[in-house]
Amino acid sequence: MQDFSPQNIIEILKTYMPKNMDSIALHEPYLAGNEWDYVKSCLDTGWVSSAGNFVDRFEKDLADFTGTKYAVAVANGTAALHTIYLLAGISTNDEVLVPTLTFVATCNALAYCEAIPHFVDVNNTTLGIDPEKLEDYLKDIAKIKQNICVNKFTQRPIKALVVTHTFGHPADLDSILAICNRYHIKLIEDAAEALGSLYKGKHVGHAGLAGALSFNGNKIITTGGGGAILTDDLELAKQAKHITTTAKQPHAFLYFHDRVGYNYRMPNINAALGCAQLEQIQTFLSSKRNLAKQYKKSWQDIEGISFFVEPEFATSNYWLNTLLLDNKYYTQRDTILKLAHTNGIKARPVWTLMHKLPMYASCPRMALNTAENLEQSAINIPSSVFLTQDHP
């Protein structure tokens, strides 16, 4: 065992920095395939905007790759979540169970529907919702009234539950889905970080009603900005396409919109990038799993530090690799982060927990001890697909 020392941690991280670089971001795009060709064909043909072939192809490629019946491409991951929430019937004063450890978009999209996030805790094995705590908690606070789950204390309906597959690691979907079914709660997946991640051999994102993906610049594949809705439900897929394209009824020249719609479509030029990126996903996944294997080895002999590994039921994309500090070293976290940044290594802490943000501070919640510990313990370290210790 080597003694714990922030300097030593930085030295280890530096061994992953490519020789020709003096800084490494947390997760950078890697554009080494047909991106130029496909984008050029958009420019050459003028199909850069809301019509064109790449959107259809990207949707089909995504459905094939994830084993989902339907994929609907949209402007970003937040728009994907918002659309799913609308189609789940989430509206004013509905409560929706969400982990407090997530990116703010999971909650913001609920706020767009005037719904109320209700925070639940996560566990240490998945970094996602803890099914045991969820079950115990619902026993105390929920009752079923005419097939609707109601919060006994606020009298508001609990319409849905959103799981986040944190840093790409699948949450315990079977256990969570069983609880949701028993309580008449709809399951939605925030799979923004989890393209390529499998739960018991099945791609995440379509265990419940629907799932959201993101193709932001820092995600495992990128379209510049973009997102998608995954679902096995034909009607939901049709509605998702309809309301994200201004709810316009198809017609050669008439503009008739049958409800309030959204301009959430993904432009063709972004979908062109997506098609090229998706062609490379298998290499990305094997590079990332290989990087995680090397990281695991690098940290195994350092006192006071552990490296987070995928849950036993999962094959994770290892989107963001994560170090966990023992509690006696929580006070060292910011020293490590500062030293990392001074050395060009853009490590970061986890997101500030949702129940600590001003706009969500008064939302209902259970005891959130595990998330509060993780907030002090976890450090995300660089995870781009081209990082490795085996420099040429």
Ligand X SMILES: *Cc1c(COP(=O)(O)O)cnc(C)c1O
Residue closer to ligand X by CB (options 305, 347) is: 347
- Measured CA to CA, the distance from residue 224 to residue 93 in angstroms comes to 34
Contact flag: residue 270 with ligand X (CB under 6 A): no
Interface pick for ligand X out of 117, 227, 274, 364 (rule CB under 6 A): 227
Q: For residue 165, how many other CB atoms are within 10 A of its CB?
A: 29
- Measured CA to CA, the distance from residue 123 to residue 249 in angstroms comes to 45
Backbone angles phi, psi at 340, to 5 degrees: -60, -50
Interface pick for ligand X out of 193, 204, 295, 305 (rule CB under 6 A): 193
Q: How far is the CB of 258 from ligand X (least distance, A)?
A: 27
Interface pick for ligand X out of 30, 58, 103, 360 (rule CB under 6 A): 103
Contact flag: residue 277 with ligand X (CB under 6 A): no
Site string (128-157) toward ligand X, x via CB under 6 A: ------------------------------
Contact flag: residue 164 with ligand X (CB under 6 A): yes
Q: For residue 1, how many other CB atoms are within 10 A of its CB?
A: 8
Residue closer to ligand X by CB (options 102, 384) is: 102
Find residue 296's DSSP bridge partners: none
- Measured CA to CA, the distance from residue 264 to residue 304 in angstroms comes to 46
Site string (62-91) toward ligand X, x via CB under 6 A: --------------xxx-------------
Encoding tokens for residue 145?
């009234």
Q: How far is the CB of 57 from ligand X (least distance, A)?
A: 20
Element (H, E) at 188: strand 186-190
Contact flag: residue 382 with ligand X (CB under 6 A): no
Contact flag: residue 317 with ligand X (CB under 6 A): no
Interface pick for ligand X out of 123, 214, 222, 343 (rule CB under 6 A): 214
- Measured CA to CA, the distance from residue 191 to residue 162 in angstroms comes to 10
Q: At what angle do helices 234-244 and 77-87 cross, to 10 degrees?
A: 120
Which CA distances in Å does 136 have to 27, 116, 128, 141, 366?
A: 37, 21, 16, 9, 10
Q: How far is the CB of 225 from ligand X (least distance, A)?
A: 6
Contact flag: residue 274 with ligand X (CB under 6 A): no
| Contact set with ligand X (CB under 6 A) | 76-78, 102-103, 105-106, 164, 190, 192-193, 214, 216, 227
